[in-house]
């Protein structure tokens, strides 16, 4: 049974989300403030987190950043605002998806389930074994990445983007192709938001955009994994 954590300071919101998630087959824990959420993630194992942006003690963006320090679990944010600056801030914090209040509970559950499928699917061996490009190694089954033998911790989305590129070395993938492959139906991320994820991915891989070792930018088109990665 998948396990979800619902974080919101409004009890009626928590109750509403919990009812729908339980009906969808989830086991659900609850937290009413940011610090409690961080503590629960540190002590438990979750398949998805539904996280409100406006929380006491630590806001949702800060909570998401702290979660990303220890876990790549999918995080779906709830917010009362739907403006571009908010989306960029949540991308920077490491969120996977975004739902605006007032929201449709069935839609939220659909997004949570899709995020869990992608998260679990990225760890499956289906589609091939270990991928490598020079000193870069990605193991889909173990959900592990290393550079020159040193482990690299990636979020679920960063991992999925890297795997998408590594499965087609030398092939230029547009931002739209990456968006479709990694996010599917979600409209949380726009095409320019892909650049935010690739920047984070490069930082973690120690890749220099001006002299790329692994990921090349094809100006005006998208990205590709260097065929001669070293």
pLDDT, one tens digit per residue, over 186-219 is 556 667 788 888 999 999 999 998 899 999 999 8
d(C-alpha 56, C-alpha 74), whole Å: 22
Kindly state the average pLDDT of the residues 8-24.
Answer: 94
SS3 95: coil
Q: Is the pLDDT of residue 122 over 60?
A: no
What confidence score (pLDDT) does residue 72 get? 83
d(C-alpha 170, C-alpha 223), whole Å: 9
Kindly state the average pLDDT of the residues 164-170.
Answer: 90
Per-position DSSP letters for 117-181, written without gaps between them: HHHHHTTS-TT-S-EEETTEEEETTTTEEEETTEEE---HHHHHHHHHHHTSTT--EEHHHHHHH
* Cα 153–Cα 118–Cα 98 angle in degrees, nearest 5: 85
User: If residue 49 lies in a helix (H) or strand (E), which one and from where to where?
Assistant: strand 48-52
For the whole model, what pTM was predicted?
0.64
pLDDT, one tens digit per residue, over 19-71 is 999 999 999 999 999 999 999 999 988 999 999 999 999 999 999 999 988 88
Of the chain, the end-to-end C-alpha distance in Å amounts to 42
Kindly state the average pLDDT of the residues 222-227.
Answer: 91
Kindly state the average pLDDT of the residues 156-174.
Answer: 90
**More confident call, 68 vs 121:** 68
What confidence score (pLDDT) does residue 179 get? 84
By percentage, how much of the chain surpasses pLDDT 70? Answer: 91
Confidence of residue 126 (pLDDT cuts 50, 70, 90): very low
User: What is the average pLDDT value for the chain, to the nearest integer?
Assistant: 87
What confidence score (pLDDT) does residue 121 get? 64
What confidence score (pLDDT) does residue 101 get? 87
> Is 74 in contact with 47 (CB distance < 8 Å)?
yes
What confidence score (pLDDT) does residue 75 get? 93
Confidence of residue 125 (pLDDT cuts 50, 70, 90): very low
Q: Sheet containing 222-225: which strands, arranged edge to edge? A: 173-174, 222-225, 215-218
d(C-alpha 213, C-alpha 169), whole Å: 13
């Amino acid at each position: 049974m998948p396990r979800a954590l619902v974080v919101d300071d409004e009890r009626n919101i928590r109750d509403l989300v919990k009812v729908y998630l339980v009906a969808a087959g989830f086991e659900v824990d609850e937290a009413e403030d940011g610090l409690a959420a961080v503590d629960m993630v540190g002590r438990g194992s979750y398949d998805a987190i539904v996280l409100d942006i406006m929380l006491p003690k630590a806001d949702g963006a800060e909570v998401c950043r702290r979660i990303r320090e220890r876990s790549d679990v999918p995080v779906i944010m709830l917010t009362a605002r739907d403006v571009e600056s908010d989306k960029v801030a949540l991308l920077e914090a490491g969120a996977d998806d975004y739902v605006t209040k007032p929201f449709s509970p069935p839609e939220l559950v659909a997004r949570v389930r899709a995020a869990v499928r992608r998260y679990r699917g990225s760890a499956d061996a289906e589609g091939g074994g270990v991928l490598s490009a020079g000193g870069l190694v990605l193991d889909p089954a173990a959900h592990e990445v290393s550079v020159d033998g040193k482990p690299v911790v990636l979020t679920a989305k960063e991992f999925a983007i890297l795997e998408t590129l590594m499965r087609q070395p030398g092939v230029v993938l547009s931002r739209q192709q990456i968006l479709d492959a990694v996010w599917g139906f979600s409209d949380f991320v726009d095409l320019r938001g892909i650049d935010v994820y690739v920047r984070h991915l490069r930082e973690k891989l120690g890749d220099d955009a001006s002299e790329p070792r692994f990921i090349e930018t094809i100006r005006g088109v998208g990205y590709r994994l260097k065929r001669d990665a070293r």
